[in-house]
Structure 1
Amino acid sequence: MPVALALSGLANARDLGGLERTDGSLTPTGAFVRAEALDRVGSSGWQALRGHGVRTVIDLRRPDEVTGRVPDDMLAVQVDLDGDERDFWAPFEQDGRWGTPLYYAAHLHELPHRLAEVLQAIATAPAGAVLFHCGAGWDRTGLVAAFLLKALDVTEDAAAADYLASFANAQAMRALHGRSFDVEERHAVLGRFGHTADSAFREMYRQLDVDQWFRHAGVDEETERAIVTWRADPAGQAM
Structure 2
Amino acid sequence: MAHCDVTIDGLANARDLGGLERADGSTTPHGVFVRAEVLDRVTPRGWDALRDHGVRTVIDLRRPDERSGGVPDDIDLVVVDLDGDERHFWEPIEADGRWGTPLYYLDHMRDLPHRLSEALAAIARADEGAVLFHCGAGWDRTGLIAAVLLRALDVTTDAALADYLQSFTNAEAMTALHARTFHVDERHAILTRHGHTAESAFRSVYDRLDLDEWLRTADISDDTRRAITTWRGAVPASKP
Tell me if TM exceeds 0.5. Answer: yes
AA aligned to 2:34 is V
Partner of 1:212: 213
AA aligned to 1:143 is L
Contact 2:29-2:234 within 8 A present in 1 as well: no
Partner of 1:111: 112
Partner of 1:172: 173
In 1, Cα distance between equivalents of 2:26 and 2:56: 26
Q: Deviations over 1:164-196 (max 9, x none)?
A: 000000000000000000000000000001001
Partner of 1:161: 162
Q: In structure 2, the residue corresponding to 1:58 is in which secondary structure?
A: strand
In 1, Cα distance between equivalents of 2:27 and 2:102: 24
Contact 1:15-1:29 within 8 A present in 2 as well: yes
AA aligned to 2:51 is R
Q: When the two structures are aligned, how many residues end up with a matched partner?
A: 236
In 1, Cα distance between equivalents of 2:107 and 2:132: 25
In 1, Cα distance between equivalents of 2:93 and 2:209: 20
Partner of 1:147: 148
AA aligned to 1:162 is D
Pair 4,110 (structure 1): closer, same or farther in 2 beyond 3 Å: same
AA aligned to 1:118 is A
Partner of 1:31: 32
Contact 1:156-1:202 within 8 A present in 2 as well: yes
Partner of 1:82: 83
In 1, Cα distance between equivalents of 2:202 and 2:85: 24
Pair 193,24 (structure 1): closer, same or farther in 2 beyond 3 Å: same
Q: In structure 1, the residue corresponding to 2:84 is in which secondary structure?
A: coil
Moved segments of 4+, more than 4 Å? 233-236
TM-score (normalizing by structure 1): 0.97
In 2, Cα distance between equivalents of 1:173 and 1:70: 20
Contact 1:33-1:130 within 8 A present in 2 as well: yes
Q: Deviations over 1:146-178 (max 9, x none)?
A: 000000110000000000000000000000000
Q: Deviations over 1:208-233 (max 9, x none)?
A: 11110012212211110010000016
Q: In structure 2, the residue corresponding to 1:28 is in which secondary structure?
A: coil
In 2, Cα distance between equivalents of 1:88 and 1:147: 20
Contact 1:57-1:131 within 8 A present in 2 as well: yes
- Asked if residue 17 in structure 1 is aligned to residue 18 in structure 2, the reply is yes
- Segments of 5+ residues of structure 2 without an aligned counterpart are none
Identity fraction in percent: 67
CA root-mean-square deviation? 1.1
In 1, Cα distance between equivalents of 2:236 and 2:19: 20
Partner of 2:133: 132
AA aligned to 2:142 is T
